Amino acid sequence: MSTTRLAIIDDHPLFREGVMSVFRGRDDFKLVGEGMSADDALEVATATQPDVLLLDLGIPGGGLNALRSIRKNCSCVSVVMLTASEASSDIFSAFEEGASGYLLKGIPTFELITAVKTAHGGAIVLDPKLAVHALGQLGAAARTPHPNPDAFKQLTRRETEILAFVSRGWSNRDIGASLGLTERTVKNYMSRLMTKLRVRNRVEAALAFRRADDV
């Protein structure tokens, strides 16, 4: 059983402690850091390199600012927003900045555990209570990059194959199992193909692939 290294950034000590208590003592999770501000978030991400970092939008310094810094300096860390905001604009902004998920603070314990494991596996997670129209807005957003169709010609056959799986919502782990590759190898392919397409995350890569397929 793989262990997920987890960090939590929230400026409300009681809530942060409550979330930590959910994961503390479990063999499949290891708590590696905590904090309460955007500066803390980057420091924890840099120092501990967690697999998943839970991040609140409303922290001092701004959750989105923290997310932006982490994606720039610690690209291997999957950042999942854990916040009270259900605003579509916040959801869109989080994914636009490279978040691996968006969860509401009222999420049941079991669903939170499952979501963190899913994010560690490389898939995008979204709180089931969020309105379906938020996904539609994400998919139709005009600000989502439109890579030049020629960019897809730079992809190898394997990269294209993996991107097709990603566009169907498969995690790195599931893709690897299907193709006989390790999860790390799939992650490396993903990094290379995202660089070639000049996209910042799996959501943008998947949307770009679907658009190219419709042309």
Q: What is the pLDDT of residue 215?
A: 46
Q: Is pLDDT larger for residue 115 or for residue 142? A: 115
Return d(Cα 193, Cα 162) in angstroms, integer: 9
Find the mean pLDDT for residues 147-169: 82
Top pLDDT among 110 and 202 is at 110
Any idea where the domains of the chain sit in the sequence? 4-139, 149-214
Share of residues in the chain with pLDDT > 90 (%): 50
Region label for 139, one of left (φ > 0), alpha (ψ between -120 and 50) or beta (otherwise): alpha
pLDDT tens-digit series, residues 3-43: 999 999 999 999 999 999 999 989 999 999 999 999 999 99
| Rounded mean pLDDT, 55-70 | 94
Judge whether 32 and 52 are in contact, CB under 8 Å. Answer: no
**pTM reported for the whole predicted model:** 0.69
**Fold entry, domain 149-214:** Arc Repressor Mutant, subunit A (1.10.10)
The fold of the 4-139 domain, in CATH, is Rossmann fold (3.40.50)
Mean pLDDT of 71-82: 91
Q: How far is CA 132 from CA 110, 135, 136, in A?
A: 21, 6, 7
Tell me the residue type at 33: G
CB 11 within 8 A of CB 36: yes
CA distance linking residue 203 with residue 192, whole number of Å? 15
Decide if 4-139 and 149-214 have a common fold: no
User: Which of 151, 168, 162, 170 is closest to 212 using CA atoms?
Assistant: 151
For 34-58, what is the mean pLDDT?
Answer: 97
Edge-to-edge strands of the sheet including 29-35? 29-35, 4-9, 52-55, 78-83, 101-104, 125-126
Q: What is the pLDDT of residue 142?
A: 42
